[in-house]
């Protein structure tokens, strides 16, 4: 058993906007790149060009098609998932060697790879599937909240955020201190009704998700999508008739 700090000075984490995430996977690639090519031990792949490729990814995006109960049109949701840096982190308390730990100064949950024996208990204890056994090094890996970027004085100030946040083209990922009620991320959570993932697990995740906004009842684009010409002439007319004959 490994102890958790009684309290942390800050609660650094992510706020992820499920309304604006477009599922592009740029955050996944940026995370893999930063954690493979820069500081720290590489994030390994095994058999990358073979029949059974596998690799360690600290951030993954799952996409779902959901049909609302009222029978409205189905919606696609993209759901990025990485470690939520839980306040009551079962992955830490289950660790037999102290390799998994939560930092008192900022609440980041990390793994000391030198002390990890690869038993996998922490991955079993995490209800979010947020830990990954490195297939080459046989040690546990997880999101570090880019601890080697956010305090890195060799980087320009604007780059001192997690790689996924810096990369997201949709502005769907936000980073900050969720323990400070006046921080931009805390205000965003209040304004948008941010939620905990699986609160029934009692892990008290620091990361929050902003739920998708309901779809507009009126399709504002519909009037503009009406056909402007039922029988187009010229090149478009020829193309239309040709495609119809082929179809």
d(CA 145, CA 85): 9
The reply to whether 188 sits near ligand SF4 by the rule CB under 6 A is no
The reply to whether 142 sits near ligand SF4 by the rule CB under 6 A is yes
Q: With CA atoms as reference, report the closest residue to 187 among 196, 178, 200.
A: 178
The reply to whether 128 sits near ligand SF4 by the rule CB under 6 A is yes
Find the binder of ligand SF4 among 12, 99, 108, 189 (CB under 6 A): 99
First to last CA, the chain: 66
97 or 242: whose CB is closer to ligand SF4? Answer: 97
The reply to whether 178 sits near ligand SF4 by the rule CB under 6 A is no
Q: Across-strand partners of 12?
A: 177
The reply to whether 119 sits near ligand SF4 by the rule CB under 6 A is yes
Strand stretches in the chain, DSSP E: 12-17, 45-46, 54-55, 60-66, 75-81, 100-102, 109-111, 132-133, 140-141, 173-177, 208-210
- Residue indicated by tokens 């892990």: 203
Angle at 155 between CA 151 and CA 161, to 5 degrees: 55
The reply to whether 80 sits near ligand SF4 by the rule CB under 6 A is yes
Q: How far is the CB of 186 from ligand SF4 (least distance, A)?
A: 19
The reply to whether 211 sits near ligand SF4 by the rule CB under 6 A is no
d(CA 103, CA 241): 67
The interface region with ligand SF4, picked from 64-72, 119-127, 149-157, 221-229 by CB under 6 A, is 119-127
In the stretch 17-56, what mask flags binding to ligand SF4 with x, by CB under 6 A? ----xxxxxxx-----------------------------
- Measured CA to CA in angstroms, residue 103 lies from 11, 86, 145, 162, 208 at distances of 10, 11, 12, 17, 19
Contacts with ligand SF4 by CB under 6 A lie at 21-27, 61, 78, 80, 83-86, 89-91, 94-95, 97, 99-100, 109, 111, 116-122, 126, 128, 130-131, 140, 142, 167-168, 170, 172-173, 203
């Amino acid at each position: 058993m490994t102890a958790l700090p009684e309290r942390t000075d800050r609660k650094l984490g992510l706020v992820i906007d499920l309304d604006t995430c477009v599922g592009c996977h740029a955050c996944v690639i940026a995370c893999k790149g930063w954690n493979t090519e820069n500081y720290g031990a590489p994030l390994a792949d095994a058999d990358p060009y073979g029949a059974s490729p596998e690799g360690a990814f600290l951030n993954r995006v799952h996409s779902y098609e959901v049909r609302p109960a009222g029978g409205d049109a189905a919606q696609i949701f993209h759901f990025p998932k990485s470690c939520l840096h839980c306040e009551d982190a079962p992955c830490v308390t289950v660790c037999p060697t102290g390799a998994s730990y939560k930092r008192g100064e900022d609440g980041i949950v990390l793994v000391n790879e030198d002390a990890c024996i690869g038993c996998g208990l922490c991955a079993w204890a995490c209800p979010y599937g947020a830990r990954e056994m490195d297939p080459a090094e046989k040690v546990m890996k997880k999101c570090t909240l880019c601890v080697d970027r956010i305090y890195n004085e060799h980087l320009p100030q604007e780059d001192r955020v997690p790689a996924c946040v810096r990369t997201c083209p949709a502005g769907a990922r936000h980073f900050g201190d969720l323990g400070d009620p006046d921080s931009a991320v805390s205000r965003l959570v209040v304004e948008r009704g941010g939620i905990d993932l699986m609160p029934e697990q009692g892990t008290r995740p620091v990361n929050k998700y902003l739920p998708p906004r309901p779809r507009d009842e009126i399709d504002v684009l519909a009037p503009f999508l009406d056909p402007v010409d039922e029988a187009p002439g010229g090149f478009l007319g020829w193309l239309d008739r040709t495609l119809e004959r082929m179809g």
